């Protein structure tokens, strides 16, 4: 069993991104500038946002965090996004999710200019991905997972890949990116029958659910298990969707939690944030 080391791989990618940022600054005189909007005080979101800001600054990307109180109106958020869309100094805009219930998330995401949508969540970028043409940006987590698979030279083309979860942030774009790479993709969700049978026969399993759901003892020989879940167990310890002790002896590659997909997501977002389209 080989660990898919997201920490090491992300450091390698960040080095390349840092180099690209320097090149962009030298060639165009423009400094990539990521603006992150955070609403309310969700502790997980606060950690993610701090992490994004610190990493951006380390590699020469300018970053600004704009904080709004929990009770901000949708109208005020939209006004801020319109301002950032017009601001020539701003090259990337990210609204940290989840948003409070009184705000329609879709209205907010749709307001972001597709050329600055570093999350790849706007209808234009999602639509381009769905029809198999290049969007301005691919969503960070699935793109980071593909970078990790590529780093370990894991063959995607022709592989039977099970994606568990169909969220807009991970599952759906993951399935589409893999189809575009010529994989045979099954997307499982809460209505899926016989999930264990599907897990046991897949060449690659990518689980993005947030529950301990991949726990069968015998997965396919030479299979690859990618764990996107990250949550605290009953003892407050960080864990993922995969029962590592059960699954790891029978697969060939497995991503740990923490230290697998998490750091890849940040590196992948930084890759996006280093691009300047406007
Ligand atoms: N919340 C959890 N993951 C993400 C992400 O990739 N982007 C944003 N904007 N919010 C998130």
Q: Which residues of 61-78 are buried (b: 16+ CB within 10 A; e: fewer)?
A: bbbebeebeeebebeebe
Q: Is 68 helix (H, G, I), strand (E, B) or coil?
A: strand
Domain that holds residue 92: 28-113
Is 208 contained in some domain?
yes
What confidence category does residue 198 fall into, taking pLDDT thresholds of 50, 70 and 90?
very high
Is residue 172 located within the same domain as residue 81? no
Is 222 contained in some domain?
yes
Is residue 170 located within the same domain as residue 248? yes
Which of 96, 115, 143, 176 is labelled catalytic?
A: 96
52 is a catalytic site residue: yes
Is 240 contained in some domain?
yes
Average pLDDT across the chain, whole number: 97
What pLDDT sits at residue 218?
A: 87
The CATH number for 178's domain is 3.40.50.720
Average pLDDT over residues 168-195: 98
Tens-digit pLDDT profile for residues 49-60: 999 999 999 999
Tens-digit pLDDT profile for residues 93-130: 999 999 999 999 999 999 999 999 999 999 999 999 99
Is residue 145 located within the same domain as residue 244? yes
The CATH number for 104's domain is 3.40.50.10860
Is 133 contained in some domain?
no
Tens-digit pLDDT profile for residues 235-250: 999 999 999 999 999 9
Is residue 54 located within the same domain as residue 95? yes
Q: Is 122 in the pocket of ligand 1 (CB under 6 A)?
A: no
Average pLDDT over residues 26-44: 96
Is residue 103 located within the same domain as residue 154? no
Ligand 1 atom closest to the CA of 140, numbered from 1: 6
Is 246 contained in some domain?
yes
Q: How far is the CA of 16 from the centre of ligand 1 (A)?
A: 23
pTM, 2 dp: 0.97
115 is a catalytic site residue: no
Is 120 contained in some domain?
no
Is 147 contained in some domain?
yes
276 contacts: CB under 8 Å, gap ≥ 6: 24, 28, 30, 32, 91
Is 270 contained in some domain?
no
Spatial separation of the C-alpha atoms in residues 225 and 191, rounded to whole Å: 21
What confidence category does residue 61 fall into, taking pLDDT thresholds of 50, 70 and 90?
very high
Q: How far is the CA of 97 from the centre of ligand 1 (A)?
A: 5
H/E/C letters for each residue in 221-237?
A: CCCEEEECCCEECCCCC
Q: Is 208 in the pocket of ligand 1 (CB under 6 A)?
A: no
Count up the domains in the chain and report the number: 2
What confidence category does residue 39 fall into, taking pLDDT thresholds of 50, 70 and 90?
very high
Tens-digit pLDDT profile for residues 249-266: 999 999 999 999 999 999
Q: Is 94 in the pocket of ligand 1 (CB under 6 A)?
A: yes
């Amino acid at each position: 069993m080989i660990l898919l080391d997201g920490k090491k791989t992300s450091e390698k990618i960040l080095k390349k991104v840092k180099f690209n940022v320097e090149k962009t600054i030298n060639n165009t005189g423009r400094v990539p500038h990521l603006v992150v909007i955070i609403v309310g005080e969700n502790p997980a979101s606060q950690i993610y946002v701090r992490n994004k800001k610190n990493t951006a600054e380390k590699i020469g990307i300018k970053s600004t965090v704009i904080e709004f109180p929990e009770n901000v109106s949708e109208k005020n958020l939209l006004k801020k996004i319109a301002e950032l869309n017009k601001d020539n100094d701003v090259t990337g805009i990210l609204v940290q999710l989840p948003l409070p219930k009184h705000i329609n998330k879709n209205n907010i995401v749709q307001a972001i200019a597709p050329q600055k949508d570093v999350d790849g969540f706007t209808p234009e970028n999602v639509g381009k991905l769905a029809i198999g043409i290049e969007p301005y940006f691919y969503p960070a987590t699935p793109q980071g997972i593909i970078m990790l698979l590529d780093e370990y030279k894991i063959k995607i083309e022709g592989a039977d890949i099970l994606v568990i979860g169909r969220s807009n942030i991970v599952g759906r774009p993951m399935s589409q990116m893999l189809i575009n790479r010529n994989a045979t993709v099954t997307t499982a969700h809460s209505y899926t029958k016989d999930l264990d049978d599907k897990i046991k026969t897949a060449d690659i399993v990518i689980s993005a659910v947030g529950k301990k759901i991949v726990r069968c003892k015998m997965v396919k020989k030479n299979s690859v298990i990618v764990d996107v879940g990250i949550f605290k167990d009953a003892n407050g310890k960080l864990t993922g969707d995969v029962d590592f002790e059960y699954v790891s002896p029978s697969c060939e590659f497995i991503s740990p939690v923490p230290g697998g997909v998490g750091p890849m997501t940040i590196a992948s977002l930084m890759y996006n944030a280093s691009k300047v389209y406007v």
